[in-house]
Structure formats: C-alpha cells, structure tokens
Amino acid sequence: MMAQVKQGKTRPLKTGQLMKGLVKPNCTQLKKGLDAGPDSDKAWAELAMNAALINEISYTLMADGRCPDGTWAKANDTLRECSSAILKAVNSKNVEEAKKAFSAMVKACSTCHDAHKKKK
C-alpha cells in the first residue's frame, strides 16, 4: 500500500490541517490547563475532552493509507497510549500523573516530525 503522509488516500483531510486544526489546539489547551491546575468540574471536563480528541486523532493518523512506516506507527502508538493515560489521570483528578503522561506524549510529536515533517 502506498503511504500518503500528507493526505489520506480517499478522504480530503490533509495531515497539516489535522495537525493545525486539531492536534495543536488540543495539545496547547491540555498544557495550559494542567499547568494552571484545574479548579472546577468544567475545567476537568475540558481536559478530558482534549485528551480524548487527541486519542481519537491517533486512529485517523493510521487510517486511509496515511502511515508510511514503523517510525510513524510507533510514534502514533505513543500518542495513543499517553493520551489514554492522560485521560485516565484526568478522570481521577490526578494532575501530576496527567503531566507525566503529557511529557511522554509530546515526545511522539518530535519523533514523527523528525522523520516525516519536511523542514522549511
């Protein structure tokens, strides 16, 4: 199967759009929220949403012939597992655990980018 990287085979969404429109904003909100320390059920619910959306993105990144190789797949596994760990920590209102999982998660960003995001 030919890997697409920049866009899936049959669906219109570009990888850059997914990153800019979904991955980055949810990642930024997670960091902000965890650093500030959630102080209400609403704030926790926002963090749960951010983590769940990033988790969902890990399925899109593997779909539609997008995945080119094992580096991509492995970075994506990290994204999926760590976002799931963040969600679990958030659901038990454990900021420290969530922060730890967040730090581990963002390693996946650079691993995949180093291999597959063209330098400008």
Instruction: List phi, psi (to 5°) of 40.
Output: -155, 160
* Contact track, ligand HEC, 9-48, x by CB under 6 A: ------xx--xx--xx--x---------------------
* Contact track, ligand HEC, 78-117, x by CB under 6 A: -x--------------------------x-xx--xx--xx
Instruction: List phi, psi (to 5°) of 7.
Output: -160, 145
Rounded least distance, CB 40 to ligand HEC, Å: 25
Tracing tokens 């655990």 back to the chain, one arrives at 97
Rounded least distance, CB 41 to ligand HEC, Å: 25
Rounded least distance, CB 101 to ligand HEC, Å: 12
Q: Which DSSP string do the residues of 22-69 spell out, in sequence order?
A: IIHHHHHHHHHHHHH---SHHHHHHHHHHHHHHHHHHHHTTSTT---S
